[in-house]
Structure 1
Amino acid sequence: MLYTPVHSLIDQSLHSRLGAETTNGDGFGVGWYDAAAAPGLFRSIEPAWNDLNLRELAGHVSSHLFFAHVRAAIGSAVQQTNCHPFRHGRWLFMHNGFIDGFAAIKRDLVLAVDESLYPEIQGTSDTEVLFYLALTFGLQDDPPGAVARAIGFVEARGRGRGVDYPFQGTLATSDGETLWAFRYSSQGNSRSLFYTRDIRTLRREYPDREILREVPDDARLVVSEPIGDLPGAWEEMPEATYAVVRPGEDQLLPFRPE
Protein backbone atom coordinates (compact mmCIF):
# COMPACT_ATOMS: atom_id res chain seq x y z
CA MET A 1 0.00 0.00 0.00
CA LEU A 2 2.76 2.47 0.88
CA TYR A 3 5.24 1.83 -1.92
CA THR A 4 4.63 -1.02 -4.34
CA PRO A 5 1.10 -0.83 -5.84
CA VAL A 6 0.26 1.41 -8.76
CA HIS A 7 -0.77 4.83 -7.36
CA SER A 8 0.47 3.84 -3.90
CA LEU A 9 0.22 6.25 -0.98
CA ILE A 10 3.76 7.47 -1.67
CA ASP A 11 2.81 8.13 -5.30
CA GLN A 12 -0.33 9.94 -4.10
CA SER A 13 1.80 12.21 -1.92
CA LEU A 14 3.38 13.47 -5.15
CA HIS A 15 0.53 13.05 -7.65
CA SER A 16 -2.87 13.05 -5.98
CA ARG A 17 -5.66 12.63 -8.54
CA LEU A 18 -8.73 13.27 -6.42
CA GLY A 19 -7.45 15.41 -3.56
CA ALA A 20 -7.84 19.16 -3.15
CA GLU A 21 -4.04 19.48 -3.40
CA THR A 22 -2.00 17.62 -6.01
CA THR A 23 1.09 17.40 -3.80
CA ASN A 24 0.99 16.38 -0.14
CA GLY A 25 4.53 17.08 1.02
CA ASP A 26 4.07 18.76 4.40
CA GLY A 27 4.78 15.68 6.46
CA PHE A 28 3.30 12.25 7.02
CA GLY A 29 2.49 9.77 9.72
CA VAL A 30 1.84 6.09 10.29
CA GLY A 31 0.19 4.45 13.27
CA TRP A 32 -0.07 0.72 13.89
CA TYR A 33 -1.34 -1.80 16.42
CA ASP A 34 0.78 -4.68 17.71
CA ALA A 35 1.22 -6.47 21.04
CA ALA A 36 1.96 -3.26 22.94
CA ALA A 37 -0.70 -1.61 25.08
CA ALA A 38 -0.75 1.55 22.92
CA PRO A 39 -0.43 1.79 19.14
CA GLY A 40 2.92 2.70 17.60
CA LEU A 41 3.29 6.12 16.01
CA PHE A 42 5.86 7.57 13.60
CA ARG A 43 5.42 11.10 12.29
CA SER A 44 7.74 13.40 10.38
CA ILE A 45 7.70 16.76 8.58
CA GLU A 46 9.72 15.24 5.75
CA PRO A 47 7.87 14.57 2.49
CA ALA A 48 6.83 10.91 2.56
CA TRP A 49 8.60 10.17 -0.72
CA ASN A 50 11.91 11.43 0.70
CA ASP A 51 12.07 9.68 4.07
CA LEU A 52 14.34 6.63 4.23
CA ASN A 53 13.23 5.86 7.78
CA LEU A 54 9.66 5.35 6.56
CA ARG A 55 10.85 2.85 3.96
CA GLU A 56 12.89 1.03 6.59
CA LEU A 57 9.95 0.96 9.01
CA ALA A 58 7.52 -0.28 6.36
CA GLY A 59 9.79 -3.22 5.62
CA HIS A 60 9.83 -4.47 9.21
CA VAL A 61 6.60 -3.56 11.00
CA SER A 62 3.78 -6.09 10.89
CA SER A 63 0.28 -5.11 12.00
CA HIS A 64 -3.31 -6.30 11.69
CA LEU A 65 -4.53 -2.68 11.58
CA PHE A 66 -2.65 0.45 10.59
CA PHE A 67 -3.18 4.09 9.62
CA ALA A 68 -1.15 6.08 7.09
CA HIS A 69 -1.52 9.78 6.25
CA VAL A 70 0.24 12.27 3.97
CA ARG A 71 -0.28 15.96 4.74
CA ALA A 72 -0.87 19.17 2.84
CA ALA A 73 -0.93 21.87 5.51
CA ILE A 74 -3.99 24.13 5.50
CA GLY A 75 -3.54 27.02 7.92
CA SER A 76 -1.50 25.30 10.63
CA ALA A 77 2.28 25.07 10.81
CA VAL A 78 4.39 22.34 9.27
CA GLN A 79 5.57 20.67 12.47
CA GLN A 80 5.67 17.13 13.79
CA THR A 81 2.91 17.66 16.36
CA ASN A 82 0.52 18.66 13.55
CA CYS A 83 1.07 15.47 11.54
CA HIS A 84 -1.59 12.78 11.57
CA PRO A 85 -2.54 10.32 12.96
CA PHE A 86 -3.14 11.50 16.52
CA ARG A 87 -3.10 9.12 19.46
CA HIS A 88 -4.75 8.90 22.87
CA GLY A 89 -4.43 5.64 24.78
CA ARG A 90 -5.58 2.89 22.40
CA TRP A 91 -7.16 5.35 19.98
CA LEU A 92 -5.86 6.67 16.66
CA PHE A 93 -7.51 9.47 14.67
CA MET A 94 -6.83 11.12 11.31
CA HIS A 95 -8.67 13.50 8.99
CA ASN A 96 -8.55 14.58 5.35
CA GLY A 97 -10.16 18.00 5.13
CA PHE A 98 -10.50 21.11 7.29
CA ILE A 99 -12.63 23.15 9.67
CA ASP A 100 -13.51 26.35 7.84
CA GLY A 101 -13.15 29.46 9.97
CA PHE A 102 -11.08 27.52 12.51
CA ALA A 103 -9.18 30.58 13.72
CA ALA A 104 -12.45 32.33 14.58
CA ILE A 105 -13.95 29.42 16.52
CA LYS A 106 -10.80 27.77 17.89
CA ARG A 107 -11.27 29.29 21.36
CA ASP A 108 -14.84 27.99 21.57
CA LEU A 109 -13.77 24.51 20.51
CA VAL A 110 -10.75 24.26 22.80
CA LEU A 111 -12.70 25.47 25.84
CA ALA A 112 -15.21 22.66 25.22
CA VAL A 113 -12.49 20.00 25.56
CA ASP A 114 -12.62 18.15 28.87
CA GLU A 115 -10.24 19.67 31.41
CA SER A 116 -8.45 16.35 31.92
CA LEU A 117 -7.77 16.01 28.20
CA TYR A 118 -6.71 19.56 27.43
CA PRO A 119 -3.04 19.15 28.53
CA GLU A 120 -2.58 16.39 25.93
CA ILE A 121 -3.15 18.75 22.98
CA GLN A 122 0.37 19.23 21.60
CA GLY A 123 -0.11 20.88 18.20
CA THR A 124 -2.10 23.65 16.55
CA SER A 125 -4.14 21.79 13.94
CA ASP A 126 -7.92 21.69 13.63
CA THR A 127 -7.84 17.88 13.43
CA GLU A 128 -6.22 17.44 16.83
CA VAL A 129 -8.83 19.71 18.43
CA LEU A 130 -11.58 17.73 16.67
CA PHE A 131 -10.10 14.50 18.06
CA TYR A 132 -10.14 15.79 21.63
CA LEU A 133 -13.66 17.12 21.16
CA ALA A 134 -14.72 13.63 20.07
CA LEU A 135 -12.99 12.13 23.11
CA THR A 136 -14.78 14.67 25.30
CA PHE A 137 -18.12 13.73 23.73
CA GLY A 138 -17.67 10.00 24.38
CA LEU A 139 -15.50 8.53 21.62
CA GLN A 140 -14.37 5.63 23.80
CA ASP A 141 -17.95 4.49 24.48
CA ASP A 142 -19.84 5.51 21.33
CA PRO A 143 -17.56 6.44 18.42
CA PRO A 144 -20.26 7.29 15.82
CA GLY A 145 -22.24 9.32 18.33
CA ALA A 146 -19.16 11.14 19.61
CA VAL A 147 -18.01 12.08 16.10
CA ALA A 148 -21.57 13.22 15.27
CA ARG A 149 -21.64 15.40 18.39
CA ALA A 150 -18.15 16.82 17.74
CA ILE A 151 -18.92 17.76 14.13
CA GLY A 152 -22.32 19.10 15.15
CA PHE A 153 -20.62 21.30 17.74
CA VAL A 154 -18.15 22.55 15.10
CA GLU A 155 -21.00 23.36 12.72
CA ALA A 156 -23.01 25.20 15.39
CA ARG A 157 -20.05 27.34 16.42
CA GLY A 158 -18.98 27.98 12.83
CA ARG A 159 -22.43 29.05 11.66
CA GLY A 160 -22.69 31.25 14.73
CA ARG A 161 -19.64 33.07 13.34
CA GLY A 162 -21.11 33.37 9.85
CA VAL A 163 -19.37 30.35 8.26
CA ASP A 164 -21.77 28.69 5.82
CA TYR A 165 -20.01 25.32 5.56
CA PRO A 166 -17.85 24.76 8.65
CA PHE A 167 -16.80 21.13 8.16
CA GLN A 168 -15.23 19.31 5.23
CA GLY A 169 -13.63 15.95 5.04
CA THR A 170 -13.27 12.30 5.69
CA LEU A 171 -11.92 10.89 8.92
CA ALA A 172 -11.00 7.58 10.51
CA THR A 173 -10.61 6.40 14.08
CA SER A 174 -9.86 3.06 15.72
CA ASP A 175 -9.36 1.38 19.07
CA GLY A 176 -7.24 -1.39 17.54
CA GLU A 177 -10.14 -3.81 17.07
CA THR A 178 -12.67 -1.83 15.04
CA LEU A 179 -12.22 0.85 12.38
CA TRP A 180 -14.77 3.63 11.95
CA ALA A 181 -14.47 5.73 8.77
CA PHE A 182 -16.66 8.76 8.04
CA ARG A 183 -17.42 10.76 4.91
CA TYR A 184 -19.26 14.02 5.53
CA SER A 185 -19.16 17.74 4.75
CA SER A 186 -21.47 20.60 5.64
CA GLN A 187 -21.83 21.40 1.94
CA GLY A 188 -22.65 17.81 0.96
CA ASN A 189 -19.59 17.58 -1.31
CA SER A 190 -17.02 15.64 0.71
CA ARG A 191 -13.47 14.57 -0.05
CA SER A 192 -13.33 11.15 -1.69
CA LEU A 193 -13.24 7.87 0.25
CA PHE A 194 -13.11 4.29 -1.07
CA TYR A 195 -13.09 0.78 0.37
CA THR A 196 -12.14 -2.60 -1.08
CA ARG A 197 -14.70 -5.12 -2.20
CA ASP A 198 -14.85 -8.60 -0.65
CA ILE A 199 -11.46 -10.31 -1.05
CA ARG A 200 -12.98 -13.70 -1.95
CA THR A 201 -14.91 -12.09 -4.81
CA LEU A 202 -11.75 -10.40 -6.07
CA ARG A 203 -9.85 -13.70 -5.97
CA ARG A 204 -12.46 -15.25 -8.25
CA GLU A 205 -12.24 -12.32 -10.64
CA TYR A 206 -8.43 -12.16 -10.59
CA PRO A 207 -7.18 -15.71 -9.92
CA ASP A 208 -3.64 -14.89 -11.08
CA ARG A 209 -3.02 -12.01 -8.67
CA GLU A 210 -0.68 -13.29 -5.98
CA ILE A 211 -1.34 -10.34 -3.67
CA LEU A 212 -4.96 -11.47 -3.28
CA ARG A 213 -3.82 -14.90 -2.11
CA GLU A 214 -1.52 -13.39 0.50
CA VAL A 215 -4.18 -11.45 2.42
CA PRO A 216 -6.86 -12.96 4.69
CA ASP A 217 -10.50 -13.21 3.65
CA ASP A 218 -11.57 -10.34 5.87
CA ALA A 219 -8.80 -7.91 4.82
CA ARG A 220 -10.07 -4.39 4.07
CA LEU A 221 -8.51 -1.16 2.89
CA VAL A 222 -10.16 2.24 3.30
CA VAL A 223 -8.40 4.94 1.28
CA SER A 224 -8.84 8.46 -0.06
CA GLU A 225 -7.94 7.33 -3.58
CA PRO A 226 -7.91 3.82 -5.09
CA ILE A 227 -4.52 2.14 -5.26
CA GLY A 228 -3.38 -0.74 -7.45
CA ASP A 229 -4.54 -1.64 -10.94
CA LEU A 230 -7.53 -3.95 -10.39
CA PRO A 231 -10.63 -2.55 -12.14
CA GLY A 232 -13.70 -3.00 -10.00
CA ALA A 233 -11.74 -3.59 -6.79
CA TRP A 234 -13.01 -0.45 -5.11
CA GLU A 235 -16.34 0.97 -4.01
CA GLU A 236 -16.82 4.68 -3.29
CA MET A 237 -18.33 5.42 0.10
CA PRO A 238 -21.55 7.41 -0.29
CA GLU A 239 -21.89 10.95 0.95
CA ALA A 240 -22.94 11.38 4.61
CA THR A 241 -22.07 7.78 5.49
CA TYR A 242 -19.81 5.97 7.92
CA ALA A 243 -18.33 2.49 7.78
CA VAL A 244 -17.76 0.08 10.66
CA VAL A 245 -15.09 -2.52 9.91
CA ARG A 246 -14.29 -5.28 12.40
CA PRO A 247 -13.38 -8.97 12.09
CA GLY A 248 -16.22 -10.80 10.38
CA GLU A 249 -18.44 -7.75 9.99
CA ASP A 250 -18.67 -4.67 7.74
CA GLN A 251 -21.43 -2.08 7.90
CA LEU A 252 -22.30 1.08 5.98
CA LEU A 253 -24.61 3.40 7.90
CA PRO A 254 -25.98 6.93 7.41
CA PHE A 255 -24.14 9.73 9.22
CA ARG A 256 -25.69 12.93 10.53
CA PRO A 257 -24.13 15.43 12.94
CA GLU A 258 -25.88 16.05 16.24
Structure 2
Amino acid sequence: MVYSGDPLVVEELLFKPEHSLIDQSLHSRMGATTTNGDGFGIGWYDDGPEPGIYKDVAPAWNDANLREVSRHIRTRMMFAHIRASTGTAVQRSNCHPFRHGKWLWMHNGAIRGFPEVKRDLLMTVDPSLYPDIEGSTDSETLFFLALTFGLEDDPIRAVAQAVGEVERLGKRHGVENPVQMTVAATDGNSVWAFRYSSEGRTRTLFFSTKVARLLELHPEVEVLYRLGEETRFVVSEPLRDLTGAWNEVPESSCGVVGPGHAELRSFQPEPLPLAG
Protein backbone atom coordinates (compact mmCIF):
# COMPACT_ATOMS: atom_id res chain seq x y z
CA MET A 1 0.00 0.00 0.00
CA VAL A 2 1.11 3.52 -0.85
CA TYR A 3 -0.44 6.60 0.74
CA SER A 4 0.26 10.13 -0.51
CA GLY A 5 -1.64 13.14 0.82
CA ASP A 6 -2.16 15.36 3.82
CA PRO A 7 -0.48 14.07 7.01
CA LEU A 8 -2.43 11.28 8.70
CA VAL A 9 -1.77 9.03 11.67
CA VAL A 10 -0.43 5.70 10.40
CA GLU A 11 -3.01 3.77 12.44
CA GLU A 12 -5.74 5.30 10.25
CA LEU A 13 -4.04 3.88 7.18
CA LEU A 14 -2.91 0.47 8.41
CA PHE A 15 -5.60 -0.68 10.84
CA LYS A 16 -8.83 1.26 10.31
CA PRO A 17 -9.95 0.31 6.75
CA GLU A 18 -12.31 -2.68 6.66
CA HIS A 19 -9.95 -4.62 4.36
CA SER A 20 -6.78 -3.02 5.71
CA LEU A 21 -3.31 -4.25 4.92
CA ILE A 22 -3.31 -5.93 8.34
CA ASP A 23 -6.48 -7.81 7.39
CA GLN A 24 -4.94 -8.68 4.03
CA SER A 25 -1.96 -10.25 5.81
CA LEU A 26 -4.40 -12.93 7.00
CA HIS A 27 -7.13 -12.83 4.37
CA SER A 28 -5.77 -11.70 1.01
CA ARG A 29 -8.44 -11.96 -1.68
CA MET A 30 -6.36 -11.31 -4.79
CA GLY A 31 -2.78 -12.17 -3.90
CA ALA A 32 -0.75 -15.21 -4.85
CA THR A 33 -1.15 -16.46 -1.27
CA THR A 34 -4.01 -15.94 1.17
CA THR A 35 -1.74 -15.52 4.20
CA ASN A 36 1.26 -13.19 4.14
CA GLY A 37 3.05 -13.86 7.41
CA ASP A 38 6.77 -13.73 6.52
CA GLY A 39 7.34 -10.23 7.87
CA PHE A 40 6.21 -6.69 7.13
CA GLY A 41 7.51 -3.18 6.87
CA ILE A 42 6.48 0.45 6.75
CA GLY A 43 8.43 3.43 5.47
CA TRP A 44 7.36 7.02 6.00
CA TYR A 45 8.46 10.62 5.48
CA ASP A 46 8.17 13.48 7.95
CA ASP A 47 9.98 16.82 7.77
CA GLY A 48 13.35 15.48 6.65
CA PRO A 49 14.38 14.28 3.18
CA GLU A 50 15.12 10.68 4.20
CA PRO A 51 12.40 8.23 5.26
CA GLY A 52 12.14 6.25 8.45
CA ILE A 53 11.50 2.52 8.31
CA TYR A 54 10.17 -0.07 10.75
CA LYS A 55 10.41 -3.72 9.73
CA ASP A 56 10.20 -7.09 11.43
CA VAL A 57 9.88 -10.78 10.59
CA ALA A 58 6.81 -11.22 12.80
CA PRO A 59 3.42 -11.46 11.07
CA ALA A 60 1.91 -7.99 10.74
CA TRP A 61 -1.28 -9.04 12.51
CA ASN A 62 0.66 -10.13 15.60
CA ASP A 63 3.14 -7.30 16.16
CA ALA A 64 2.20 -5.19 19.18
CA ASN A 65 4.98 -2.70 18.46
CA LEU A 66 3.56 -1.98 15.00
CA ARG A 67 0.19 -1.09 16.50
CA GLU A 68 1.90 1.03 19.15
CA VAL A 69 4.11 3.08 16.82
CA SER A 70 1.30 3.46 14.27
CA ARG A 71 -0.62 5.56 16.80
CA HIS A 72 2.23 8.05 17.12
CA ILE A 73 3.46 8.60 13.56
CA ARG A 74 1.89 11.20 11.28
CA THR A 75 3.00 11.14 7.68
CA ARG A 76 2.26 12.63 4.27
CA MET A 77 3.76 9.64 2.44
CA MET A 78 3.82 6.03 3.54
CA PHE A 79 4.80 2.70 2.01
CA ALA A 80 3.55 -0.47 3.70
CA HIS A 81 4.18 -4.08 2.70
CA ILE A 82 3.33 -7.57 3.95
CA ARG A 83 5.57 -10.39 2.83
CA ALA A 84 5.11 -13.94 1.66
CA SER A 85 8.55 -15.26 0.80
CA THR A 86 9.12 -16.66 -2.67
CA GLY A 87 12.09 -18.67 -1.47
CA THR A 88 14.57 -16.35 0.21
CA ALA A 89 15.12 -16.31 3.96
CA VAL A 90 12.65 -14.83 6.42
CA GLN A 91 14.86 -12.12 7.90
CA ARG A 92 14.52 -8.41 8.57
CA SER A 93 16.83 -7.36 5.74
CA ASN A 94 14.54 -9.16 3.27
CA CYS A 95 11.41 -7.28 4.37
CA HIS A 96 10.09 -4.40 2.27
CA PRO A 97 10.21 -1.48 1.81
CA PHE A 98 13.85 -1.19 0.87
CA ARG A 99 15.58 2.15 1.43
CA HIS A 100 18.52 3.88 -0.21
CA GLY A 101 19.09 7.53 0.62
CA LYS A 102 15.79 9.31 0.11
CA TRP A 103 14.28 6.46 -1.93
CA LEU A 104 11.86 3.71 -0.90
CA TRP A 105 11.02 0.62 -3.02
CA MET A 106 8.47 -2.21 -2.75
CA HIS A 107 7.84 -5.17 -5.04
CA ASN A 108 5.14 -7.82 -5.27
CA GLY A 109 5.95 -10.74 -7.52
CA ALA A 110 9.17 -12.54 -8.34
CA ILE A 111 12.10 -12.88 -10.68
CA ARG A 112 11.66 -16.43 -11.89
CA GLY A 113 14.81 -18.48 -11.94
CA PHE A 114 16.44 -16.03 -9.55
CA PRO A 115 19.04 -18.54 -8.26
CA GLU A 116 20.20 -19.06 -11.86
CA VAL A 117 20.45 -15.37 -12.79
CA LYS A 118 21.31 -13.89 -9.38
CA ARG A 119 25.07 -13.76 -9.88
CA ASP A 120 24.83 -12.07 -13.27
CA LEU A 121 22.28 -9.56 -11.99
CA LEU A 122 24.37 -8.64 -8.96
CA MET A 123 27.46 -8.25 -11.13
CA THR A 124 25.49 -5.65 -13.11
CA VAL A 125 24.92 -3.49 -10.02
CA ASP A 126 27.17 -0.43 -9.86
CA PRO A 127 30.18 -1.24 -7.64
CA SER A 128 29.57 1.91 -5.58
CA LEU A 129 26.05 0.67 -4.73
CA TYR A 130 26.84 -3.01 -4.17
CA PRO A 131 28.00 -2.66 -0.51
CA ASP A 132 24.59 -1.19 0.40
CA ILE A 133 22.68 -4.37 -0.50
CA GLU A 134 21.64 -5.85 2.86
CA GLY A 135 19.43 -8.83 2.01
CA SER A 136 19.18 -11.71 -0.44
CA THR A 137 15.91 -11.09 -2.30
CA ASP A 138 15.17 -10.66 -5.97
CA SER A 139 13.15 -7.57 -4.98
CA GLU A 140 16.14 -5.73 -3.50
CA THR A 141 18.29 -6.79 -6.44
CA LEU A 142 15.75 -5.25 -8.82
CA PHE A 143 15.85 -2.04 -6.75
CA PHE A 144 19.62 -1.79 -7.00
CA LEU A 145 19.51 -2.50 -10.72
CA ALA A 146 17.09 0.42 -11.09
CA LEU A 147 19.41 2.61 -9.00
CA THR A 148 22.30 1.53 -11.23
CA PHE A 149 20.40 2.55 -14.35
CA GLY A 150 19.48 6.01 -13.04
CA LEU A 151 16.41 5.74 -10.82
CA GLU A 152 17.21 9.10 -9.23
CA ASP A 153 17.25 10.90 -12.61
CA ASP A 154 14.64 9.11 -14.73
CA PRO A 155 12.66 6.51 -12.75
CA ILE A 156 10.57 5.14 -15.62
CA ARG A 157 13.53 4.60 -17.92
CA ALA A 158 15.64 3.16 -15.10
CA VAL A 159 13.01 0.56 -14.21
CA ALA A 160 12.48 -0.21 -17.91
CA GLN A 161 16.19 -0.89 -18.32
CA ALA A 162 16.35 -2.94 -15.12
CA VAL A 163 13.45 -5.11 -16.31
CA GLY A 164 15.00 -5.35 -19.78
CA GLU A 165 18.24 -6.62 -18.25
CA VAL A 166 16.40 -9.23 -16.15
CA GLU A 167 14.60 -10.49 -19.25
CA ARG A 168 17.83 -10.57 -21.27
CA LEU A 169 19.69 -12.55 -18.63
CA GLY A 170 16.69 -14.77 -18.02
CA LYS A 171 16.62 -15.68 -21.70
CA ARG A 172 20.34 -16.44 -21.62
CA HIS A 173 19.75 -18.88 -18.75
CA GLY A 174 16.68 -20.49 -20.32
CA VAL A 175 14.17 -18.92 -17.91
CA GLU A 176 10.74 -18.37 -19.44
CA ASN A 177 8.80 -15.25 -18.45
CA PRO A 178 11.31 -14.12 -15.83
CA VAL A 179 9.58 -10.95 -14.60
CA GLN A 180 6.42 -10.76 -12.50
CA MET A 181 6.07 -7.41 -10.75
CA THR A 182 4.03 -4.68 -9.31
CA VAL A 183 6.53 -2.13 -8.03
CA ALA A 184 6.25 1.16 -6.17
CA ALA A 185 9.10 3.66 -5.77
CA THR A 186 9.23 7.12 -4.23
CA ASP A 187 11.68 9.91 -3.52
CA GLY A 188 9.34 11.34 -0.88
CA ASN A 189 7.62 13.75 -3.25
CA SER A 190 6.35 11.68 -6.19
CA VAL A 191 5.38 8.02 -6.51
CA TRP A 192 5.99 5.74 -9.49
CA ALA A 193 3.92 2.54 -9.59
CA PHE A 194 4.53 -0.16 -12.21
CA ARG A 195 2.49 -3.16 -13.32
CA TYR A 196 4.26 -5.53 -15.69
CA SER A 197 5.00 -9.21 -16.28
CA SER A 198 6.79 -10.99 -19.08
CA GLU A 199 3.73 -13.15 -19.80
CA GLY A 200 1.21 -10.30 -19.56
CA ARG A 201 -0.65 -11.75 -16.54
CA THR A 202 0.45 -9.47 -13.75
CA ARG A 203 -0.72 -9.43 -10.14
CA THR A 204 -3.36 -6.84 -9.32
CA LEU A 205 -2.72 -3.15 -8.71
CA PHE A 206 -5.22 -0.33 -8.15
CA PHE A 207 -5.19 3.44 -7.62
CA SER A 208 -7.80 5.49 -5.84
CA THR A 209 -10.28 7.90 -7.42
CA LYS A 210 -9.94 11.61 -6.63
CA VAL A 211 -11.41 12.48 -3.25
CA ALA A 212 -13.68 15.17 -4.70
CA ARG A 213 -15.33 12.61 -6.97
CA LEU A 214 -15.66 10.10 -4.12
CA LEU A 215 -17.43 12.72 -1.99
CA GLU A 216 -19.90 13.23 -4.83
CA LEU A 217 -20.50 9.49 -5.02
CA HIS A 218 -20.48 8.74 -1.30
CA PRO A 219 -21.24 11.81 0.85
CA GLU A 220 -22.30 9.44 3.63
CA VAL A 221 -18.77 8.02 4.12
CA GLU A 222 -17.34 10.03 7.03
CA VAL A 223 -13.69 9.07 6.54
CA LEU A 224 -13.57 10.80 3.15
CA TYR A 225 -13.94 14.18 4.82
CA ARG A 226 -10.62 13.63 6.62
CA LEU A 227 -8.69 13.15 3.38
CA GLY A 228 -7.03 16.03 1.55
CA GLU A 229 -8.05 16.74 -2.03
CA GLU A 230 -4.73 15.41 -3.39
CA THR A 231 -4.91 12.13 -1.44
CA ARG A 232 -4.02 9.05 -3.46
CA PHE A 233 -3.71 5.39 -2.57
CA VAL A 234 -1.96 2.72 -4.64
CA VAL A 235 -2.84 -0.78 -3.44
CA SER A 236 -2.60 -4.42 -4.41
CA GLU A 237 -6.16 -4.94 -3.18
CA PRO A 238 -8.94 -2.40 -2.48
CA LEU A 239 -9.05 -1.34 1.16
CA ARG A 240 -12.84 -1.37 1.26
CA ASP A 241 -15.73 -2.17 -1.07
CA LEU A 242 -16.79 1.27 -2.27
CA THR A 243 -18.32 1.73 -5.72
CA GLY A 244 -16.18 3.94 -7.93
CA ALA A 245 -13.31 4.16 -5.45
CA TRP A 246 -10.73 1.97 -7.17
CA ASN A 247 -9.30 1.86 -10.67
CA GLU A 248 -7.22 -1.04 -11.91
CA VAL A 249 -3.82 -0.13 -13.29
CA PRO A 250 -3.71 -1.58 -16.83
CA GLU A 251 -1.22 -4.25 -17.80
CA SER A 252 2.18 -2.89 -18.84
CA SER A 253 1.58 0.52 -17.32
CA CYS A 254 3.21 3.00 -15.00
CA GLY A 255 1.33 5.45 -12.82
CA VAL A 256 2.96 8.68 -11.63
CA VAL A 257 1.55 10.62 -8.67
CA GLY A 258 3.07 13.91 -7.58
CA PRO A 259 2.13 17.33 -6.24
CA GLY A 260 -0.70 18.59 -8.41
CA HIS A 261 -0.66 15.79 -10.98
CA ALA A 262 -1.40 12.12 -11.56
CA GLU A 263 -1.06 10.24 -14.85
CA LEU A 264 -0.86 6.79 -16.40
CA ARG A 265 1.69 5.87 -19.04
CA SER A 266 2.45 2.73 -20.99
CA PHE A 267 5.46 0.75 -19.80
CA GLN A 268 7.74 -1.63 -21.68
CA PRO A 269 11.20 -3.01 -20.90
CA GLU A 270 14.05 -1.18 -22.54
CA PRO A 271 17.05 -3.19 -23.70
CA LEU A 272 20.39 -1.69 -22.78
CA PRO A 273 22.42 -0.24 -25.65
CA LEU A 274 25.14 -2.57 -26.89
CA ALA A 275 28.61 -1.73 -25.65
CA GLY A 276 30.94 -0.26 -28.26
Q: CA deviation at 1:4?
A: 1.4
Alignment-derived partner of residue 109 in structure 1: 121
Cα distance in 2 for residues equivalent to 1:231 and 1:11: 20
SS of residue in 1 equivalent to 2:96: coil
Q: 2:24 aligns with which of 8, 12, 26?
A: 12
Alpha-carbon offset, residue 97 of structure 1: 0.3
Give per-residue Cα distances to partners, 1:57-99, cap 9 Å, x unaligned: 1111111111000000011000000000000000000100000
What is the match of residue 63 of structure 2?
A: 51
User: How many pairs does the alignment contain?
Assistant: 258
In 1, Cα distance between the equivalents of 2:29 and 2:244?
18
Q: Which runs of 5+ in 2 are unaligned?
A: 1-12, 271-276
Partner of 1:229: 241
> Between the two proteins, what is the percent identity of the paired residues?
56
Aligned to 1:2: 14
1:153-206: per-residue Cα shift (whole Å, max 9, x none)?
Answer: 000000111111000010000000000000000000001000111110100111
SS across alignment from 2:14: coil
**In 2: Cα distance, 1:169 partner to 1:131 partner:** 12
Residue 148 of structure 1 corresponds to: 160
1:249 aligns with 2:261: yes
Q: Distance in 2 between matches of 1:194 and 1:238?
A: 9
Within a 5 Å distance, the mapping from 1:1-258 to structure 2 comes to 1-258=13-270
**Aligned-pair CA distance for 1:146:** 0.2
The code of the aligned residue for 1:257 comes to: P
Q: SS of 1:63's equivalent?
A: strand
Q: Deviations over 1:100-135 (max 9, x none)?
A: 000000000000000100000111000111111100
String of CA shifts for 1:212-242, please: whole Å, max 9, x gaps: 1111001000000001231221000000000
Specify which structure has the bigger relative contact order, considering alpha-carbon pairs within 8 angstroms and separated by 6 or more residues: 2
CA distance in 1, matches of 2:146, 2:164: 11
CA distance in 2, matches of 1:8, 1:192: 16
Q: Secondary structure at the match of 1:146?
A: helix
Give TM-score scaled by structure 1 length.
0.99
C-alpha distance in structure 1 between counterparts of 2:258 and 2:267, whole Å: 18
Q: State the distance in 2 between where 1:66 and 1:114 align.
A: 28
Q: CA deviation at 1:2?
A: 1.2
Which segments of 5 or more consecutive residues in structure 1 lack a partner in the other structure?
none
